[in-house]
Amino acid sequence: MTTVNATAHPVPPPPPRGDTYRLALPNTAAAPKVAREFVSSLLGINRHTLLVEDARLCVTEIVTNAHRHTGTPFIRVYVTVDRRRVTVCVVDDEPWALPAPAPVPESVGGRGLLLVESLAWAWGAVVDGGRGGYGPGHKVVWFTLAEPSLLEAA
């Protein structure tokens, strides 16, 4: 398994405890919106209202990348929620191109992962060889958001 951690808080996806929810989306232009609404609903139900807007932005960016840059037939979204944090994993079938937050300076696009990096407590990308539970040959881009007051109490 190859891992890229882009933050100072390397956290394996998903956290070992909590409830995990799954959604499989056809790789269409509607996928980012559906994923955004799915994550928003879960965080509202689980009383993580302070994390909703950041989660909406981050999942939109990652699902949009999967839609635009892969030919995977389905984009899978896994959301694990516990009382301190939420981890969102976006899985596609094209593991050979790990994402990196390094846009070309004169480029109009390519800044989505910089946004994820600035909002997330931790984030990264993993090429899953089958040991991570997503199946062999999958790329998993994940992020963890945490409510600071809850992390301090831990």
3-state secondary structure of 77: strand
How much is the pTM? 0.81
Domains and CATH numbers, the chain: 2-153 (3.30.565.10)
Contact 78, 21 (CB under 8 A): yes
Whole-angstrom distance, CA of residue 124 vs CA of residue 12: 9
The pLDDT tens digits for 92-143 are 987 666 665 555 555 555 678 889 999 999 998 888 655 556 666 778 899 9
3-state secondary structure of 16: coil
Of residues 151 and 60, more confidence is placed in: 60
